[in-house]
Structure formats: C-alpha cells, structure tokens
C-alpha cells in the first residue's frame, strides 16, 4: 500500500530501547543493600579494638567491668535469647490461633476489625509498651503471676524470688510485640493452602478441627515456622521496651523472675557514657553480635516463608 | 457418646478455644490504650503541655497545674521526622518503582531480600551506624544524624509498599503509554506513579509513623535536649526520648509528663495508621477500576 510506504518508521522503534531510566532506578535501589553492608562494615570497624583484645572469649566471658576493662558478653547474650524464646513460647499458640480464625471465610467485617486490631499492636511505639510494662504490666504480673507461681513452686529455683523488673516480664511484653508479625504471616500462609485440600478433607467426612489440625496446619507448617523465626528476629532486636522492664542487671539470673540484661539494652543504657577506646568498642561488638544473629535469622525466615508460598502457588 | 458426636464435640471445643485466644490477643491493645489515656490525659488537657518546655522536677509535690510541657519534643520530632522523610521517601519511591517495573531483573531479587532484612534490622544497630558515620566525624550529637538514622529505618518500608502499590496497577496502563511512544521514565513517573499514588502515600505514612515512634536510633544521635531547639546541627529532644527518659526517673511530675508524651505519641501514630488504611482501601478500589 502506498500510504504505508510513505509513512516514516516511528523513531523509537529502529533504535535499541533506552535503558537510562532502568539504570537510574536500579542505582537508587542499590542503596538498600549498600546501606545494609555499610551498617555491618561500620560496626565491624568500630568494634575492632574489642575484637582484637578479647577474640572469641568475648562471647563466653561473664564479667562486664568498664573499670578494669574486662568485657564478656555471655550474660547479655543469655538474656537476649531467653527473653526472645520466652516471648515466642507465649505468643506462638495465640498467634497461630488468631491466624486460623482470621483465615476462615465469612464474617468478613468482624474478621477485618480483629485483623486491624492485631495489626495496630505492631504500630504502637516500643517506648509506649515500655512505660506500660513498667507501670502496669510489671506490677500486675508480679502480683498475679510471678508471686503465686514462686509460692507454689518453691522447690524449683528458676521459678523463685519474683521481682517487678524481670526477665519474665520482659518476655511477656515481647510476646505482645511479636504477636502481629506471627499472626499476619501465618494468616497469609494458611490462606495460601490450596482450597482443594480442605475440600477433600471435608468430603471425606473430617470435622472442622480435623481438617484444620491434620490437613491445613501440616501443609502450612514450614510457613508458620518461617513466621516464628521472623518474629524471633524482631524479639532479638527489640530494645527500648525491654530496657525499661528487664531490670538491667549484668548477670545470668538464677531465676527467670530476676532482673537480667539483653544485648540491645546494654548498648542503649551505656553507650552515651562509654569513654576510652575499649569500652565503646565492646558495646559496638555487642551490637555486631546482635546484628549478625538477626541477619542470619531473618534471611533464613524469609527464604522459608517465600519457599512455602511459592510451593502453595505451584500446587494451586 | 458415639464416636461421631465425640468428634463433633471436640471440633466445637477447639473452635471455642481458638475464639477465646483471639480475644486474648486483643486484650493487650485495649489495656495499652486504656492506661495511656487514663494516665496521660491529666497532663494533656492543659494547652500549655503542647507549648511549654520541660521544668525541673518539683518535689515533693507540684502545684496542681504544672506548667511543664513537651513543646520542644514535639518540635524536635517534627523536624527530625520531616528531614528523614525528605531523605528516605523519594529514594524509597524510586527504589520501589525499580522493583515493580523491572521485577524480572535478577538484581531486583537481591534488593528485595535486602529491604526485607533491613526492615528486621535492630534499630539500635542503625543508631550505632549513624553515630559512627555522623556523630564521630562532626564531634557532637546532632538532630541531623538522628534524621539519617530514621531515614534508614523508613527506606525499606517505603520501597516495599511502593513496589506493592505499583504492582497493583494493571499492565494495560503501562502498555498504552508505551504504545503511544512515551519513554519508559514518563510512563513510570507520569502514568503509573499517579495511578499508584494512594498506595505510595500509604507506605510513606506508615514509614513516618514508624520513624516518629522510634527511640533507640535517637539515643546517641539526637541525644535529647531540655530546651526548644530549631537547629538540626545540634542535639534535639523528641517525643519518644521524653517518654523513655522521664518514665525511668523517680519524680512523679516527670513521670506524668512521660505518660502525657506517650499519649500524644500513640494518638499520632495510631491516627496515621488508620488514615493510611483508609487511603490503601481507596487504592485497591481504584486499581480495580483501571
């Protein structure tokens, strides 16, 4: 056709596609991994004096004395791990229960309100949890949980000598704080279980509970595990609320009702007052231990959650 | 009881247990809100609370109406979160556009993983990073270093929510733009981004709310101040710092200020969250129409 021959080709088509915008946004996006690497590198550099001085003994030392320049991180590591696992033990059953309820069909409005409520728990600033734990939750737990348990279990030493500011209360407030993470991801994973599996179970005559317990939860298991580990990462790194309620005692307590310390709390309390070279470096090394552990935990959790939602998508 | 009725009974019992646990999960939210309002309201009902700066503790008893306030902390939080937004939000939006528009790129997978990891990075470690990067070279605490720490916190949140919002836009819009001969950057920034605006704004609001409530990164960057400060190159007070420091002091008058500041904080943060939820719902409706 004559007209088609006369029409000039569209300019852009004959040229290779321009990549400027792609390169530009990719460069901007690269800032995210770059900052992550920079954070880790900075902490390594700042912690170097302490790393050189103490080596691996830093992780197993139990003495923390700025006057004599002896620093060991074990009590803080113990406190961080103990509060986090306590929090998960308390939050896991509740979180999965809420996730199952939210993933059920029907009553969308009520489920929406409940879901919003649980998500708002994640929005409350850590410091507000802290002041609440210090003046409300701590005294209540001391009177109604710690003291009665300690009275009835006098023969168990790790459940003795209750205190308002304690490792147990820190675990309690952490449990509330990680609940939204646990619930939101578990709900998505449970929702991603192929509908057919549930329908098959119901068609075979399984009750609602048998379907949930024997069919849905087993196929969502890996994802819920991933959600748990992600929540663990949040609990390990939480600073302010824990600092306000844990009692700040640099010891491995003989009882969970006694004051303790966590990695992040030590940094929050002592860093601005640290003088010399070794003391601040030791504090930064605590931060380094913390960030390395949370990085590993987070990457593992993310890969787990991703692989299960990918599996569910393939199965569907 | 026959076997089947036992099974039905077990099923109903477990259902009841799960509903009870769901209610249990909501109790802490109610308790935190209730006690913050209860203990914070007496301080907050005086208008001076928002204007005045803090006073030294008056012990053993303060006059019934104390003139102390958190005006300096509100100004400080505003300045620092504002500066952090200026740094974190534009970068986050462009990063999010990259992830959504070039989601097939291999590099996008790594960026995605890095942002998810950065969201979970302990905020105290980000504070240490800002300290080493800005406070040490400048030899003094500054609100600016606090803003940088907060912007690092905000960045991954903005990236991921922008990506989500852009990915919601049907590809027909992008294809029509490209078919008209528009260059890729104009399609992304002038067609897709406006259509995704409500979702992007949601992400920015959530990031602002998160940054406004953070204490740990400010402890050794902004440090805190007892007077009204406007200069971001010096130390500055912030609302979360007020709550953290005064709650732990043994003076009733300062503890009351801490509760008041906590109430202001929680109203702001929850308000922003609820607004952003509403905006997000509009985005999903809008994307459905396109």
We report the CATH number of the domain holding residue A80 as 1.10.3720.10
Residues of A in contact with B10 (CB under 8 A): 207, 209
Residue A288 lies in a domain: yes
Task: Show the 3-state SS of chain B.
Answer: CCHHHHHHHHHHHHHHHHHHHHHHHHHHHHHHHHHHHHHHHHHHCCCHHHHCCCCCCCCCCCCCCCCCCCHHHHHHHHHHHHHHHHHHHHHHHHHHHHHHHCCCCHHHHHHHHHHHHHHCCCHHHHHHHHHHHHHHHHCCCCHHHHHHHHHHHHHHHHHHHHHHHHHHCCHHHHHHHHHCCCCHHHHHHHHHHHHCHHHHHHHHHHHHHHHHHCCHHHCCCCECCCCCCCCCCCCECCHHHHHHHHHCCCCHHHHHHHHHHHHHHHHHHHHHHHHHHHHHHHHHHHHHHC
Domain membership flag for residue A163: yes
Nearest chain B CA: its distance from A124 CA (Å): 6
Give the per-residue pLDDT at A3: 47
Q: Is the minimum CB–CB distance between B102 and chain A shorter than 8 Å?
A: yes
Please report how many Cα atoms fall inside a 13 Å half-sphere around the Cα of residue A230, on the Cβ side.
26
**Residue A75, CB-side half-sphere exposure with 13 Å CA sphere:** 22
pLDDT at B45 over 90: no
Q: How many folded domains does chain A comprise?
A: 1
| CB of B115 closer than 8 Å to CB of B160 | yes
**What percentage of chain B has pLDDT greater than the value 90?**
59
pLDDT band at A10 (very low <50, low <70, confident <90, very high): low
pLDDT at B164 exceeding the cut of 80: yes
**Whether residue B57 has a cis bond before it, omega within 30° of 0:** no
Say what the pLDDT of residue A1 is. 44
A16 occurs within a structural domain? no
Tell me which residue of A156, A139, A221 sits closest to A186, measured CA to CA. A221
What tokens were used for A42? 């900075």
Residue B143 pLDDT greater than 70, yes or no:
yes
pLDDT tens profile B68-86: 788 899 999 999 999 999 9
pLDDT tens digits for range A31-61:
999 999 999 999 999 999 999 999 888 999 9
Inter-chain contact B214–A126, Cβ cutoff 8 Å? yes
Residue B135: CB atoms within 10 Å: 22
Residues near A244 by beta carbon (within 8 Å), at least 6 away in sequence: A127, A130, A131, A133, A134, B244, B247, B248
Phi, then psi, of A7 in degrees rounded to 5: -65, 130
So what CATH class is B79-251+268-289? mainly alpha
The model's pLDDT over B201-254, given as tens digits with 9 standing for 90+, comes to 989 999 999 999 999 999 989 888 888 888 888 899 999 999 998 898 888 888
Residue A311 domain-assigned?
yes
Mean pLDDT (chain B, rounded) = 89
Q: Which of A18-22, A222-226, A275-279, A285-289 comes out lowest in average pLDDT? A: A18-22
CB contact under 8 A, B26 and A114: yes
pLDDT at B280: 81
pLDDT tens digits along A221-275: 888 998 999 999 999 999 999 999 999 999 999 999 999 999 999 999 999 888 8
Distance of residue A155 Cα from the nearest chain B Cα, in angstroms: 31
Residues of B in contact with A176 (CB under 8 A): 28
On chain A, the residues whose CB falls within 8 A of the CB of B125 are 39, 43, 237, 287, 290-291
ipTM score of complex: 0.91
A-B contacts at Cβ under 8 angstroms: 255
The C-alpha of B16 sits at a distance from chain A's nearest C-alpha, in angstroms, of: 10
pLDDT at B62: 59
Identify all chain A residues contacting B17, using CB atoms and an 8 Å cutoff.
97
Residue B145, beta-bridge partner list:
none
Residue A231 counted as domain residue? yes
pLDDT of residue B48: 80
Instruction: Please give the residue range of the domain that contains residue A121.
Output: 47-53+72-315
What is the value of pTM for the model shown? 0.90
Query: Per the CB < 8 Å rule, is B213 touching A127?
Result: yes
Residue A2: partners with Cβ closer than 8 Å, 6 or more residues away: none
Share of chain B above pLDDT 70, in %: 94
**Does the residue A99 lie in any domain?**
yes
In a domain, A9, yes or no: no
Q: How confident is the model at residue A17 (pLDDT cuts 50, 70, 90)?
A: low
- Across the interface, of A33, A123, A136, the residue whose CB is closest to B110 is A33
Helix, strand, coil abundance in chain A, percent, nearest 5: 75, 0, 20
Please name the residue of chain A whose CA is at the shortest distance from the CA of residue B163.
A29
- Closest C-alpha to A123, from B237, B32, B243, B159: B32
Let me know if B46 is exposed, middle or buried by CB neighbors in 10 A (0-12, 13-18, 19+): middle
Q: How far is B289 from chain A (nearest CA, A)?
A: 22
Domain map of chain B by residue range?
A: 79-251+268-289
pLDDT the model gives residue B1: 67
Mean pLDDT of the region A137-161: 88
- Residue of A5 and B241 predicted with greater confidence: B241
């Amino acid at each position: 056709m004559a007209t088609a021959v006369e029409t000039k080709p569209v300019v852009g088509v004959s040229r290779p596609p321009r990549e400027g915008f792609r390169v530009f946004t990719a460069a901007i996006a690269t800032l995210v991994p770059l900052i992550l690497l920079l954070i880790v590198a900075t902490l390594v550099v700042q912690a170097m004096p302490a790393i050189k001085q103490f080596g691996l003994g830093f992780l197993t030392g139990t003495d923390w004395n700025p006057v004599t320049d002896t620093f060991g991180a074990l009590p803080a590591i113990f406190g961080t791990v103990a509060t986090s696992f306590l929090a998960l033990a308390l939050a896991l059953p509740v979180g999965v229960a809420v996730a199952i309820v939210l993933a059920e069909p029907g009553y969308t409005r009520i489920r929406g309100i409940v879901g919003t409520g649980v998500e708002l728990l994640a929005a409350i600033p850590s410091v507000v949890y802290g002041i609440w734990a210090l003046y409300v939750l701590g005294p209540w737990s001391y009177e109604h949980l710690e003291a009665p348990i300690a009275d009835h279990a006098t023969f168990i030493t790790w459940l003795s000598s209750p205190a308002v500011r304690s490792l147990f209360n820190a675990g309690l407030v952490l449990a509330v704080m990680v609940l939204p993470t646990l619930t939101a991801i578990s709900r998505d994973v449970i929702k991603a279980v192929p509908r057919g599996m549930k329908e098959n179970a119901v068609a075979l005559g399984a009750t609602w509970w048998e379907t949930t317990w024997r069919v849905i939860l087993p196929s969502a298991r890996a994802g819920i595990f991933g959600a748990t580990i992600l929540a663990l990462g949040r609990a390990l790194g939480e600073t302010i609320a824990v600092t306000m309620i844990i009692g700040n005692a640099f010891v491995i307590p003989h009882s969970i009702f006694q004051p303790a310390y966590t990695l992040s709390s030590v940094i929050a309390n002592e860093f601005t007052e640290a003088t010399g070279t070794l003391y601040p470096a030791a504090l930064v090394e605590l931060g380094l231990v913390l960030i390395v552990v949370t990085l590993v935990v987070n990457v593992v959790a993310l890969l787990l959650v991703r692989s299960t939602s990918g599996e569910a998508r393939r199965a569907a | 009881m026959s076997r089947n009725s036992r099974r039905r009974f077990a099923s109903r019992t477990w259902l009841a247990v799960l509903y009870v646990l769901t209610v249990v999960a909501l109790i802490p939210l109610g308790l935190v809100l209730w006690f913050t309002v209860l203990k914070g309201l007496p301080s907050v009902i005086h208008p001076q609370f928002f204007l005045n700066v803090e006073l030294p503790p008056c012990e053993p008893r303060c006059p019934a109406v104390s003139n102390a306030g958190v005006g300096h902390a509100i100004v400080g939080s505003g300045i620092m979160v504002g500066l952090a937004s200026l740094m974190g939000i534009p970068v986050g939006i462009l990063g999010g556009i990259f992830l959504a528009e070039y989601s097939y790129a291999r590099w996008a997978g790594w960026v995605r993983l890095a942002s998810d990891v950065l969201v979970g990075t302990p905020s105290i470690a980000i504070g240490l990073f800002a300290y080493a990067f800005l406070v040490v070279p400048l030899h003094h605490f500054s609100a600016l270093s606090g803003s940088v720490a907060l912007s690092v916190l905000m960045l991954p949140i903005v990236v991921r929510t922008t990506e989500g919002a852009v990915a919601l836009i049907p590809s027909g819009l992008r294809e029509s733009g490209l078919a008209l001969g528009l260059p890729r950057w104009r399609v992304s920034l002038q067609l897709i981004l406006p259509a995704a605006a409500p979702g992007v704004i949601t992400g920015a609001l959530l990031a602002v709310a998160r940054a406004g409530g953070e204490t740990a990164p400010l402890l050794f960057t902004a440090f805190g101040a007892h007077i009204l400060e406007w200069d971001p190159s010096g130390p500055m007070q912030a609302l979360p710092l007020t709550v953290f420091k005064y709650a732990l002091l043994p003076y009733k008058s300062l503890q009351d200020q801490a509760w008041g500041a906590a109430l202001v904080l929680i109203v702001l943060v929850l308000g922003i969250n609820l607004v952003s939820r509403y905006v997000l719902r509009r985005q999903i409706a809008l994307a459905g129409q396109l």
